[in-house]
Chains A and B, each alone.
Chain A
Amino acid sequence: MATQHLHKNTVLDAIRQLGLELQVIFNKGAVMVLPSGVNKATGLAAALAELSLSPHNVVGIGDAENDHAFLRLCECAAAVGNALPMLQDQADYITHGVCGAGVEELIEQLVADDLRSIAPRLTRHHILLGTRENGVDDSLPPYGENILLAGSSGGGKSTFAVGFLERLAARQYQFCVVDPEGDYETLDSAVALGDTQRPPSVAEVVQLLESPENNAVINLVGLPLNDRPGFFHALFPRLQEMGRARDGRSGSSSTKRITSYRRRGSPRGWRSRKRSPP
């Protein structure tokens, strides 16, 4: 329930007298009474679970006190031009327009360039790559860039990759490892599909990744070499399709997308590597 700010003492007295476990949120000129632990962030999380989407797929916009938790959850947090200063400080992007005009402005920018112009501001999501010689952390965006991890056998590729995967998982970014030699099957943050006796199927990969909380390690050891090109040919379009669906886009796959998952694999040039623990 909600009422005007001038009734705040009445509301607090009523809650105290009745012994209720309720929380009071001040929201611009309003006083809102909510069940304990319920706010816009928990509501968004419940809706996203129903939709099989991640908060990393969400652009949020707000203007007042009750938007803090919700915007913290969103991948891109925007505030309208007349939002409270504290909310603007938290936002990744502040619209020029106020109220509804600010929302329209954000939507127009989303349609125009998929918010690519805002992407450089989203450094709070960057994933640590390492520490440079001068002691400064070096990081990169969780999506959009392609990485080549290369070096001799036993040189630390798996160790580096596992560290990066763990940092992705810690931030709830979804990933899918295509693992030709079973190097990553013990990764704690992912479900291994396929083993030495049983090849994975595209259907089970897609089914697993439909839930954004799940990560996959596709173990190809049980899949004959001659069958692997066909497997990739079937798998990658499905992964791309999932990414587009989560972006709410159905156009060309060349559209630069803000997606919640990082895919990785080694489609050609695999070399025997000694098995190394993650």
Chain B
Amino acid sequence: MALSQAFTTMMFITVHPQLLAPGILTAIDICVAVGQSPLETLQELSEAVKQAPPEPVAARRIPDEVLVWRRKTADAPY
């Protein structure tokens, strides 16, 4: 299925970012990584879009925290 590349104001929810279409991943502005291994989730997105997040990537400390990467900015994930 050829999804439009013009989508805006969307939230895509998935276990594995790499399973989303490349065009969708390129259009992602903010990644919110949840669960036990958010660094791996970020790494998966990073590889898919061929963009390394700026350092240092924050380490979560409590279970309720999420890791946020605003990938269209120069801010390191927090």
Chain A interface (Cβ < 8 Å from any Cβ of B): 129-130, 132-133, 138, 140, 142-157, 160-161, 164, 229, 232-233, 236-237, 240, 252-254, 256-257, 259, 261-271, 273
Contact = CB atoms under 8 A, between A and B. Distances in A.
Contacts of A253: 4, 6
A265 B30 contact: no
Nearest to B62: A133
B62 to A, nearest CB: 10
B8 A150 contact: no
A156 B32 CA distance: 11
B36 to A, nearest CB: 6
B10 to A, nearest CB: 5
B7 A146 contact: yes
Contact of B20 (A144, A147, A156, A268): A268
B49 to A, nearest CB: 10
Given A232-B1, A267-B3, A146 B35 contact: no
A152 B35 contact: yes
Contacts of A240: 4, 6
A150 B33 contact: yes
Nearest to B38: A151
Given A149-B13, A155-B35, A266-B14, 12 more contacts: A146-B28, A148-B12, A149-B14, A150-B17, A150-B31, A150-B32, A153-B15, A160-B66, A262-B10, A266-B13, A268-B24, A273-B15
Contacts of A261: 9
Task: Pick the most buried of B4, B6, B8: most chain A CB atoms within 10 A of its CB.
Answer: B8
Given A151-B34, A267-B24, A146 B19 contact: no
Contacts of A153: 15, 35
Contacts of B20: 148, 267-269
Given A130-B66, A157-B34, A149 B15 contact: no
